[in-house]
Amino acid sequence: MADDPEDGMLSWDESVFRDEHVFEIDYVPETFEHRESQMQSLQYALRPAVRGSRPLNVMARGPPGTGKTTAVQKLFDELSTQTDVRTVRVNCQVDSTRYSIFSRIFEGIFEYEPPSSGISFKKLFRQITEKLVEDDEVLVVALDDVNYLFYEGEASDTLYSLLRAHEAHSGAKIGVIVVSSDLNLDVIEELDGRVQSVFRPEDVYFPVYDQGEIVDILDERIERGFHDGVITSTVLDRVTELTAESGDLRVGIDLLRRAGLNAEMRASRTVSVEDVEDAYEKSKFVHLSHSLHALSENEEVLVRVIAEHDGEQAGEVYDAFHEETDLGYTRYSEIINKLDQLGIIDATYTNVDGRGRSRSLSLRYDPEAVLARLDD
């Protein structure tokens, strides 16, 4: 019988999904519940820009998967469709130097890439500000995942240029939103004094969603993404529990999609709790995958080396790392710090007999899970 759920496979045109696209990583949700106060604070800070003045700067902070990027995307969509304010969001995971950030800004303003033939930073900067003055436009730049700029030691220079633009080029009006998901990083404290004196941002905090909020948000996504009756309330409860445990809404969204695929694999038109449990074996690593995919080649090499030398002393691990990359100890230490800050490894100081203090390096996840995701 064609519509017996237990009968072999769903045919090609059958699916539990109404619209699978709503579970994709870059989907911007149509409704954005439980972030009203954060959106209001952001709107308040940017309001002067709509009137042609320099807006207030903002620092948005909160753990992963709490809606920070979505808030910025929603706000920037509104600004670019309803006002003359220019907006550029830069993903600092990808663009983590001052130069590449300004290249992105250039691209956002001119709608083509800057010449790749090595134009100086100064020139790039001048072209951007001149264009803003000429068009009499206010620019708002969001440095998303700004914590990566700190790991690369590029944060102070980048912010300094953005915040002093109006002094370097009279009439240029730029506002900055920095977004950080690293709660151990004290953004203001880590900046140079010369930046601290000009950067006094409005603070907007994004707490983790509680269970009730998670249900609301996931329910809305289920409405759009699945056919009626595919997800029962028991299944939604389990997904919510697992999401709340991780604190990251991304886990819930990824769980729903994978559980849906598991149901289809069994040729079922409904998702079961077992589909969710199976999916969780992968979904619990979404954050790890996200962090790993943004690593440079040398950083990736170090993760692999640590996976093979899990728990060993930094000095011993260095020999293996150096053999593969030829990099020196200073760069090695910098990468260790970055991986530690990203929560991929644990680098704790221990006393080694007769040799003083040394760091032992271990992965915070099962080495096999890490290696599997690096090879994805």
Ligand X SMILES: Nc1ncnc2c1ncn2[C@@H]1O[C@H](COP(=O)(O)OP(=O)(O)OP(=O)(O)O)[C@@H](O)[C@H]1O
Task: Give me the residues that bind ligand X (CB under 6 A), please.
Answer: 29, 32-35, 62, 64-70, 145, 181, 206, 217, 249-250, 253
Q: How far is the CB of 35 from ligand X (least distance, A)?
A: 5
154 binds, among Mg ion, ligand X, none (CB under 5 to 8 A by kind): none
The residue whose Cβ lies closest to Mg ion is: 69
Q: How far is the CB of 28 from ligand X (least distance, A)?
A: 7
Structure tokens at 1: 């019988």
Report the amino acid identity of residue 101.
I
Nearer residue to Mg ion within complex by CB, 69 or 243 = 69
18 binds, among Mg ion, ligand X, none (CB under 5 to 8 A by kind): none
The strands making up 86-91's β-sheet, listed across from edge to edge, are 86-91, 138-144, 173-180, 58-61, 202-205
253 binds, among Mg ion, ligand X, none (CB under 5 to 8 A by kind): ligand X
Q: How far is the CB of 177 from ligand X (least distance, A)?
A: 12
Q: How far is the CB of 258 from ligand X (least distance, A)?
A: 14
Nearer residue to ligand X within complex by CB, 65 or 175 = 65
Q: How far is the CB of 244 from ligand X (least distance, A)?
A: 14
Q: How far is the CB of 69 from Mg ion (least distance, A)?
A: 3
Residue carrying structure tokens 């020139």: 123
Phi, psi of 306 (to 5 degrees): -65, -35
250 binds, among ligand X, Mg ion, none (CB under 5 to 8 A by kind): ligand X
DSSP bridge pairs for 178: 59, 143
Q: Which of 184, 360, 365 lies closest to 292, judged by CA? A: 365
Q: Which of 229, 302, 224 lies closest to 271, judged by CA? A: 229
Nearer residue to ligand X within complex by CB, 217 or 239 = 217
70 binds, among ligand X, Mg ion, none (CB under 5 to 8 A by kind): ligand X
Phi, psi of 241 (to 5 degrees): -60, -50
**Judging by beta carbons within 10 Å of its beta carbon (0-12, 13-18, 19+), is residue 339 exposed, middle or buried?**
buried
Structure tokens at 366: 């099962």
Nearer residue to Mg ion within complex by CB, 282 or 290 = 290
66 binds, among ligand X, Mg ion, none (CB under 5 to 8 A by kind): ligand X
Nearer residue to Mg ion within complex by CB, 165 or 176 = 176
Strands 345-352 and 356-363: antiparallel
Nearer residue to ligand X within complex by CB, 19 or 368 = 19
Which long-range contacts (C-beta less than 8 Å, at least 24 apart) are formed by 277-285?
277/238, 279/254, 279/255, 280/242, 280/255, 282/254, 282/258, 283/242, 283/251, 283/254, 283/255, 283/258, 284/242, 284/246, 284/251, 285/365, 285/369, 285/373
Nearer residue to ligand X within complex by CB, 104 or 287 = 287
Contact 5, 270 (CB under 8 A): yes
Cβ-proximal residues to 340 (8 Å cutoff; 6+ apart), any chain: 346, 347
Residues of this chain that interact with Mg ion (CB under 5 A) are 69
Q: How far is the CB of 144 from Mg ion (least distance, A)?
A: 6
Nearer residue to ligand X within complex by CB, 28 or 265 = 28
Q: How far is the CB of 146 from Mg ion (least distance, A)?
A: 10
Nearer residue to ligand X within complex by CB, 199 or 209 = 209
150 binds, among ligand X, Mg ion, none (CB under 5 to 8 A by kind): none
Q: How far is the CB of 243 from Mg ion (least distance, A)?
A: 16
Tell me the Cα Rg of the chain: 24
Q: Which of 312, 306, 282 lies closest to 367, judged by CA? A: 306
